[in-house]
Amino acid sequence: MESPTIVPVSDTPLLEPPQSGQTVTPWLLVVLVVVLFSGGLFGYDQGVISGALHGMTQELSLSRIMVAVVTSWVTLGALFGALAGGELADLIGRKRAVLIAGAMFTLGALVQALAPDTVILVAGRLIVGAGVGVAAVAAPLYAAELAPTNLRGRFVSGYQLAITVGIFLAYLVDGWLSETDSWRIMLGVSAVPGLLLFAVALFAPESPRWLMKMHRRPEAAAELRKIRPGVDVNARLDAIDAALREDAGGASWGEVFQREWRRPLMIGIGLAVFQQVTGINAIIYYANQIFAAAGFVTQSAQTTATTWAIGAVNVLATLIAIAFIDGLGRRKLLLAGLLGMGISLVVVGAAFEFILRGPDQAASAAPSSAGIVTLLALVGFIICFAFSMGPVVWTVINEIFPGRIRGRAVAVATAANWGAAFLVSQGFLSLVDAIGNGPAFWLFALLCGLGWIWIYRAVPETKGRSLEQIQQFWKQPGTER
Ligand code: BGC
C-alpha cells in the first residue's frame, strides 16, 4: 500500500528567518537550563517510584490497589496539569507557568517525603503530577519560542533527552538508597532541583512572543535585546506582530474539534495513546517488580538491572533518535521501533510463560535463565521505544497542527497521553493478577501490532516539510482515509 506523503519545502521559522552560526548567549543558556530542569524533574518523578515502592509498601502497609494508586496518580495529576498548562502559559506567560511547575515539584516532593499516611502521600503524588503536566506543556513551548531557529530542534529534543536522564538519575538514587529502603529521601530529594528550577526561572527571560501577544512591546524589546544582542529588535518584533495577526482571533475549543482538523487531531491523539498502551510506563514504573518476578532475587540485583538495562539504555537510545529523526524520517523510525518493541514483548511474555514455569525455577541468588532472557528482551524493547515511539511521537504531535489550534490541540493530545498512561499504570498489576505476566506482555505486543498497522495507513511523513505545508495537506481532497 502507498503511504501518505506531503510535498517537501523548508522549515517555517517561529520567531525569525533561519540563520546559521547563531551563538548561544548566556541568557540562552539560562533558557536551556530551564528546559533541561523541567524535563529532568518530569523524568525523575516518573522513574523514582520504581525503587521507592518496596519501602513504602512495608512502612505504610499498602495494599496492591494502593500500590497502583500511589504509582499512577502522578499521571492523573499530569493529565489535569497538561490541560491547564496551555491556558496558564497563555494567561500568565511561559516563564511564570514554569515557575509554578517548579513550585509544585518542590511542594509535592516535600509533601511526599513527610507524608504521615497514604492519603497525604497520594496528595503529594497528585501535586507533583500537576507540576509534571504544566511543565510538559509550558517548557517545550518556552524552548520553541526562545531558541534561535537553527537550534530549535535541538532545544526541543533536549527536553525529551532530559526526561530520560531524569529517569536514569532517579534509578541511580533508588539504587544508592535501596539498602536502607529510604523511600522518603528518594522522593524528597527532588525538592532540591525543583527549588533550583524555580530560582533559575525567576531570572529567566519571558518569551518576547508572549509579551507581544499581550501588547507589551517595550518589555518584549528589552527581553529580545537581552537574549539576542545585536539583532534588529524592531524588525524582529514587527515579524512576530505580523505572524500573531495572521493567527488573530485564536482558535476556540470548538474549532479544535472541527471536521477540517479531525484527521491531524486523530493522528495526534492516536500516537499519544499508542505510545502508552504499548507498555512503556508499565516497564518504567514496575521495572523492579518485573525483574523480581523474572528471578532477580535481591533488591540490589533488581535496582542494578533497572538502572542500567532500562535507565541508561533509554538515555543512549534517545540520542540515536536525535541523530536520525531528520535524516531517516518519522515513519521509518516509528515503524521499525514498533516492530522491535512487539518482538521484544513477545519474548518477555514467552520467558515468563515457558521458562519460569520450568522445573529448575528454584530461588537462587543468581538471576535465572528466564531472568537473563527477560533482561535482554527488555533492553531490546527500551532501545526500540527510545529511538521511535518516545521522541518521534512528541515531535510529530508538535508539528502536525496549524498555528491557530496548535496550543490547544497539543494540550488535548498530551492529556490523552497521560490518560492512557494512567490507565496502563493503574491497571498493569490488576492485569497481571487477572491473566498472568506472560499474557499481559503479549497484550502489549498485540497493541504494538495494531499501532504498526494504523501508523502505516494513517500517519504521513512530515520530515522536511514546513508547518504550512503540513497544514495545507490536511485540506487536500482525497487525503482523508
Ligand atoms: C513518554 C513517557 C515515558 C518516557 C520514557 C516519554 O516520551 O511520554 O511516558 O515515561 O518517554 O523515556
- Express as a percent the part of the chain with pLDDT over 70: 88
Question: Which of 72, 284, 333, 422 to mutate to test ligand 1, by most ligand atoms within 8 A of the CB atom?
Answer: 284
* pLDDT at residue 360 in the model: 47
* pLDDT at residue 13 in the model: 39
- Which cell is 309 given? 538495562
Q: Does position 239 have pLDDT exceeding 50, yes or no?
A: yes
Q: Does position 358 have pLDDT exceeding 50, yes or no?
A: no
* pLDDT at residue 408 in the model: 82
Return the exposure string of 421-439: e unless at least 16 CB atoms fall within 10 Å of the residue's CB, then b.
Answer: bbebbbebbebbeeeebbb
Q: At residue 190, what are phi and psi to the nearest 5 degrees?
A: -75, -5
Is residue 89 within 8 Å of 137, Cβ to Cβ?
yes
Question: Which of 280, 283, 392 to mutate to test ligand 1, by most ligand atoms within 8 A of the CB atom?
Answer: 280
How many Å apart are CA 114 and CA 116, to the nearest integer?
A: 6
* pLDDT at residue 97 in the model: 93
Instruction: Place 16 in a pLDDT band, splitting at 50, 70 and 90.
Output: very low
Nearest CA to 395 out of 300, 467, 287, 289 is that of 467
Counts of helices then strands in the chain (DSSP H, E): 22, 0
Q: Is the CB of 271 under 6 A from ligand 1?
A: no
* pLDDT at residue 5 in the model: 39
Q: Does position 169 have pLDDT exceeding 90, yes or no?
A: yes
Question: How far is the centre of ligand 1, averaged over its atoms, from the C-alpha of 390 (Å)?
Answer: 6
Is residue 71 within 8 Å of 56, Cβ to Cβ?
no
Question: How far is the centre of ligand 1, averaged over its atoms, from the C-alpha of 292 (Å)?
Answer: 23
* pLDDT at residue 336 in the model: 96
Q: Is the CB of 164 under 6 A from ligand 1?
A: yes
Interval 379-396 mean pLDDT: 92
Is residue 374 within 8 Å of 291, Cβ to Cβ?
yes
Is residue 232 within 8 Å of 384, Cβ to Cβ?
no
pLDDT, greater one: 10 or 92: 92
Question: How far is the centre of ligand 1, averaged over its atoms, from the C-alpha of 421 (Å)?
Answer: 9
Q: What is the per-residue pLDDT across 422-448, written as a single tens digit (0 to 9) for each?
A: 899 888 989 999 999 999 999 999 999
Alpha helices for 178-258 (secondary structure H): 183-188, 191-203, 208-213, 217-227, 233-246, 253-256
Q: What is the per-residue pLDDT across 94-142, written as a single tens digit (0 to 9) for each?
A: 899 999 999 999 999 999 999 999 999 999 999 999 999 998 888 887 8
Nearest CA to 398 out of 166, 86, 131 is that of 86
Nearest CA to 206 out of 216, 193, 195 is that of 216
Q: Does position 4 have pLDDT exceeding 60, yes or no?
A: no
* pLDDT at residue 463 in the model: 78
Question: How far is the centre of ligand 1, averaged over its atoms, from the C-alpha of 291 (Å)?
Answer: 20
Q: Across all residues in the chain, what is the average pLDDT? A: 85
Amino acid at position 282, single letter: A
Q: Does position 21 have pLDDT exceeding 70, yes or no?
A: no
Instruction: Place 77 in a pLDDT band, splitting at 50, 70 and 90.
Output: very high
Atom nearest to 390 CA in ligand 1: 7
Instruction: Place 165 in a pLDDT band, splitting at 50, 70 and 90.
Output: very high
Q: Does position 191 have pLDDT exceeding 70, yes or no?
A: yes
Among protein residues, the one with the nearest Cα to ligand 1's atom 6 is 390
Choice among 169-173, 208-212, 323-327, 335-339 with the minimum mean pLDDT:
323-327
Question: Which of 171, 273, 275 to mutate to test ligand 1, by most ligand atoms within 8 A of the CB atom?
Answer: 275
Count CB-CB contacts under 10 A for residue 254: 7
Distance from the first to the final alpha carbon of the chain = 13
pLDDT, greater one: 446 or 38: 446
* pLDDT at residue 137 in the model: 83
- Which cell is 196 given? 533550583
Interval 373-382 mean pLDDT: 94
How many Å apart are CA 7 and CA 370, to the nearest integer?
A: 48
Q: Does position 63 have pLDDT exceeding 60, yes or no?
A: yes
Q: What is the per-residue pLDDT across 292-318, written as a single tens digit (0 to 9) for each?
A: 888 888 888 888 899 999 999 999 999
pLDDT, greater one: 476 or 185: 185
* pLDDT at residue 1 in the model: 38
